[in-house]
Structure 1
Amino acid sequence: MTTLSEAFRDYAKFENTPLDFNTMHEVPETHQWPIQLDQPLQMIQDTHTLIPVVDLSDPNAMDVIKQACETLGMFQVLNHGIPFEMVKKVESEARRLFGLSMDEKRKVLRSANGVTGYGLFPISSYFDKSMWHEGFTIMDSSVDDDAKVLWPNDYHQFCDTMHAYQSEVKSLAHKLIVIILQSINATQEEINWATSSQQGALLLNSYPPCPKPNSTLGLAPHTDSLLVTILHLGGVHGLEVFVQGLGWHQIQPVEGALLVNLGDLMHIFSNAKFVSPLHRVKVNQLKQRISFVYFQGPPVDSVVAPSSAFLNPCFEPMRVKEYLSLKSKNFHDAFSMIRK
């Protein structure tokens, strides 16, 4: 059986050389983006209407989630079941990791053909410019080996925290996927496909303070590839979503909420009814922004196709790992290449 890490190896084929941001007093040319040409077309005042905050204990939660999936592919959730103390503990451990010296972090640098460990964001190879970002990717039990290298005598705290959070967020992803698929009358077999033998990845992100934030990007515009993404925003502004006709819109973090956005596989399964939103991250001059994101998808050897609920499917069926490989080579053009 192909693992998620094996399926994502095509994304990892680039030179993984993060900057030592603590020594940067200016933005090098390699990290300067022409983003001044890509500003919002207008300010959006009612942010919670655009990106709804859904209480999962609300009997009408499915209806609100379905509408959010159809309009923007993004919503925030409250009463999600993950203790706030656990979320803050993960954030604290992420700060401990990124607070290490560059020499220490390089001990767990992601290898040339690997997808776990410390380094640049996996989509870096698709852009001419580098991003003001450092990350740490966890898949399967990779966190144990890396933590033992970083903290030989004190690795249990980091490992236990990450394992506990992954268990909780995986359960939340399962619950959300069921709600989303039921909202379009998916069959039980299709729900089983999406929720059985789930595979996921946890990515810790650091966006250090930047001397000239308007000249660079924390993360370049992209869509996520799997079914759902669950993100802790970290309480500092930075994440933006592209809204057709309105331009880039800054996401307002809600205390205690987690952000959910759909990925490409959900767009395919919904026969393009649900949106896989284009999003990016801006940086700031004063504060380090710590976030962490969990990606969840079905078995990569399985076939993804529009649900049988749709009489006229607009995408060709294909194995999940084949779609991931296609996107790794064609990036923004992947959808157009599998349309009927």
Structure 2
Amino acid sequence: MGDATDCAIAAVARSAQEWGGFLLVGHGVPMELLTRVEEQIKGLFALPALEKERAARGGGYGYGVPPYILSFSKLMWSEGYTFSADDVRSEFRRIWPNGGDDYMRFCDVMEEFHKEMRALSKKVLDMFYKALGISADHIGEVESQIRDTMTTTMHLNMYPKCPEPERAMGLAPHTDSGFFTLILQSLVPGLQLLRRGPERWVTVPAVPGALAVVIGDLFHILTNGRFHSVLHRAIVNQDHERVSVPYFLGPPKDMKVAPLPAAILPGRKAEFRSVTWREYMVVREKMFGKDASALAMLRVTEDERDAELAPGMN
């Protein structure tokens, strides 16, 4: 059992370093629940447009596409709905103001899914810690705080059949902002990761029951770049519709995120400045549509290193 666990941890470390993501199987989330989640999402997006538009996106949540998509010229062939995983019932009263059976079934399934994914996310974080060489006996106060206070957001995606898929995009290339994302996708491949060296888009296999794990920018900072965030996108299909559910994990909005001392390799220094999620998003929004990275803007400069080393400086 120990050897199998060690092999899994080594595989996580290798995938996080080389790809910025991986497929997770044997995770314990019931297959029948994943099936019910997909059915409920298809039912939600099948509602008349006027009913969905009652929950038009505002303040980051609701029906509609994320704002960053407006920075891209290519047509986005998708519908989306973003919400706090801790606030399902009040959020979806906007869709079903009078409640009813459909409302109750939808909320029950989403809350059950949230409970399973929340528990799984803590196991995945512990896997990442072990892959960094941080054992359970050496998890400090900061690592424990991260594990216990992660925030969760869900985004429901529907990619309808597209008559000319080469002229459209399901979701534009982007990195996720938080720690990491667990993604449920239907059995129609469409999620692609940008593989480094040489750069090429690679389609993530649609394996029954598997969840994709994608590393975000704040986890890139937390691990001092050892586990890198990955550019990913969604493509569309001419013959089949597709559903995906990213389950985003990140810190509280005002928690300072900096490289964990235990994640910094011997002979290396912290490569990134301390930043909150709110501060990071300000930098990220400035970079939308530009040939620049928010992470690059948060790297510690040589001048800053010199200032830290200068005698008598505070």
The TM-score normalised by the length of structure 1 is 0.79
**Distance across 2 between alignment mates of 1:147 and 1:308:** 42
Residue of structure 2 in register with 1:233 after alignment:
185
In 2, are the aligned partners of 1:134 and 1:207 still within 8 Å (CA)? yes
**Distance across 2 between alignment mates of 1:279 and 1:259:** 12
Secondary structure of the 2:132 match is coil
After superposition, where does 1:258-273 map in structure 2 within 5 Å? 258-273=211-226
Q: Given residue 147 of structure 1, which amino acid in structure 2 is its aligned partner?
A: F
In 2, are the aligned partners of 1:177 and 1:194 still within 8 Å (CA)? no
Identity of aligned residues (%): 35
Deviation sequence 1:79-130 (CA, Å, 0-9, x none): 111111111111010000011111111111113xx22111113421332344
**Distance across 2 between alignment mates of 1:75 and 1:174:** 17
Q: Given residue 142 of structure 2, which amino acid in structure 1 is its aligned partner?
A: E
In 2, are the aligned partners of 1:124 and 1:130 still within 8 Å (CA)? no
Give yes or no for the alignment of 1:250 onto 2:207.
no
| Shift of residue 292, structure 1, vs aligned partner | 0.7
| Shift of residue 194, structure 1, vs aligned partner | 2.0
**Distance across 2 between alignment mates of 1:60 and 1:184:** 14
> 4+ residue runs of structure 1 moved beyond 3 angstroms?
none
Secondary structure of the 2:153 match is strand
- Structure 2: where are the runs of 5+ without partners? 301-314
Residue of structure 2 in register with 1:174 after alignment:
122
Count of aligned pairs between the two proteins: 282
Secondary structure of the 1:94 match is helix
| Shift of residue 163, structure 1, vs aligned partner | 1.0
**Distance across 1 between alignment mates of 2:276 and 2:50:** 40
Q: Given residue 272 of structure 1, which amino acid in structure 2 is its aligned partner?
A: G
Q: Given residue 107 of structure 2, which amino acid in structure 1 is its aligned partner?
A: C
**Distance across 2 between alignment mates of 1:299 and 1:254:** 32
| Shift of residue 188, structure 1, vs aligned partner | 2.1
Secondary structure of the 1:232 match is strand
Residue among 282, 293, 299 paired with 1:325? 282
Residue among 47, 64, 72 paired with 1:127? 72
Deviation sequence 1:217-272 (CA, Å, 0-9, x none): 11111011111100012110111111120411111111111111111111111111
| Shift of residue 193, structure 1, vs aligned partner | 3.1
Deviation sequence 1:260-301 (CA, Å, 0-9, x none): 111111111111111211111110111110111100012221
After superposition, where does 1:307-322 map in structure 2 within 5 Å? 307-309=260-262, 310=264, 311-322=268-279
Higher RCO (Cα < 8 Å, 6 or more apart): 1
Residue of structure 2 in register with 1:292 after alignment:
245
Residue among 231, 234, 237 paired with 1:278? 231
- Structure 1: where are the runs of 5+ without partners? 1-56
Residue of structure 2 in register with 1:70 after alignment:
17
Deviates more, 1:177-186 or 1:272-281: 177-186
In 2, are the aligned partners of 1:195 and 1:298 still within 8 Å (CA)? no
**Distance across 2 between alignment mates of 1:172 and 1:62:** 15
Q: Given residue 53 of structure 2, which amino acid in structure 1 is its aligned partner?
A: R
Residue of structure 2 in register with 1:201 after alignment:
153
Residue of structure 1 in register with 2:51 after alignment:
104
Residue of structure 2 in register with 1:81 after alignment:
28
Residue of structure 2 in register with 1:118 after alignment:
63
In 2, are the aligned partners of 1:196 and 1:298 still within 8 Å (CA)? no
Secondary structure of the 2:254 match is coil
| Shift of residue 138, structure 1, vs aligned partner | 1.5
Q: Given residue 276 of structure 2, which amino acid in structure 1 is its aligned partner?
A: R
